[in-house]
Copies of this chain bind each other. A is one copy, B any other.
Amino acid sequence: MDINILSEKIHHTLSTLRYGENPAELYEPIRYIMALGGKRIRPLLVLLSARMFDEDIDKALLPAAAVEVFHNFTLMHDDIMDKAPLRRGRQTVHEKWNANTAILSGDVMLVRAYQLLLHVEPDRLSRVIERFSETAAQVCEGQQLDMNFEQRLQVGIQEYIHMITLKTAVLLGFSLELGAILQGAPEADAGHLRAFGDNIGIAFQLRDDLLDVYGDKAKFGKQVGGDILSDKKTFLMLTALEQANQQQLQTITGWRDKTDETVAAEKVQAITAMYDELGIREQTEQQIELYFQRALQHLDAVQRPEENKVALRNLALQLMERDS
């Protein structure tokens, strides 16, 4: 089965979900955010993982949708907290409606995610709910750490990796683990798939940090240097802060809080030059490679034939935009 067919199944499943009707103020924002689209990468991971153990993946569709609904719940609430005006180029829910609506609609989305998870075999329900709940709490912890870090001047590299692991990676790991659990995979395989997802998630986030500075603007689709302009504590910045000499530190502190459009290009250029002096690009690429290789080792350790792993391996390569 082609990966496009899986994507089509996910798309169809999501289109059949009914969240509720009355009051409309509660349910319309859910339909709105779910219709904004996105790559639906998490449900795809559920299905690809499930398919490694059993070709019949239809019974994994609703649990896969649960993960996507949960993910969009976190986006709805995070956008309030981050005061984000846009999501996928459209107004965020709290902007289009208001913060109260975004809080309450998000709450219902979390409940609906749990309800979608009820569509698993009864003897697997307890483990699914437990692992999902642990993951959900970790995602909240990650968001809180992210907010805490914004208020701090110094954040350690390991603290940062811990934060992105919780905020982003564990949900990818859980998606893969869920697919395995649903098909009755051995616990060791489910664990390796989770670890594969966790590590891919970290690598992917670090790559996101890298591309902000060294990405191809046309390909990346975002303004190059956006993180630099907003003084975001990315892996690159935190690494630079740890290794900078007096003069380089002054470059960083001198540009801090200067978010004015007129000096934007100059700021991005100055910080990038400092990154270049310190070899931040190469160091980041090394870290990405490290987590990517760790991920692949866990995929290798899954006790299934290579032909069952190839789709997941290719997706990982694709996420990293690599050929091999």
Contact = CB atoms under 8 A, between A and B. Distances in A.
A71 to B, nearest CB: 13
A106 B144 CA distance: 12
A125 to B, nearest CB: 6
A315 interface: no
Given A118-B130, A125-B125, A126-B125, A140 B100 contact: no
This protein's copies in its complex: 2
B111 A137 contact: yes
A233 interface: no
A81 interface: yes
Given A77-B104, A137-B20, A145-B23, A118 B126 contact: yes
Interface string A126-156: 1001100110110011011101100000000
Interface residues of A, number: 39
A82 B134 CA distance: 30
Contact of A140 (B104, B126, B133): B104
Interface string A229-265: 0000000000000000000000000000000000000
A63 to B, nearest CB: 13
Contact of A108 (B23, B108, B140): B140
A157 interface: no
A103 B129 CA distance: 22
Contacts of A115: 129-130, 133-134
Given A103-B77, A104-B81, A107-B77, A23 B141 contact: yes
Given A130-B115, A133-B115, A148 B20 contact: no
Given A20-B137, A125-B126, A144 B114 contact: no
A112 B258 CA distance: 42
A16 interface: no
B114 A133 contact: yes
B77 A141 contact: no
A1 B302 CA distance: 54
A106 B104 CA distance: 11
A278 interface: no
A80 interface: yes
Contact of A144 (B104, B141, B145): B104
A107 B22 contact: no
A126 B118 CA distance: 7
Nearest to A122: B126
A25 interface: yes
Contacts of A130: 115, 118
A168 to B, nearest CB: 16
A140 B26 contact: yes
Contact of A23 (B99, B134, B144): B144
Given A100-B147, A115-B133, A125-B126, 14 more contacts: A23-B144, A26-B140, A26-B144, A77-B104, A104-B140, A104-B143, A106-B107, A107-B140, A108-B141, A111-B133, A114-B129, A114-B133, A122-B125, A122-B126
The 3 closest A-B pairs by CB, nearest first: A26-B144, A81-B100, A111-B136
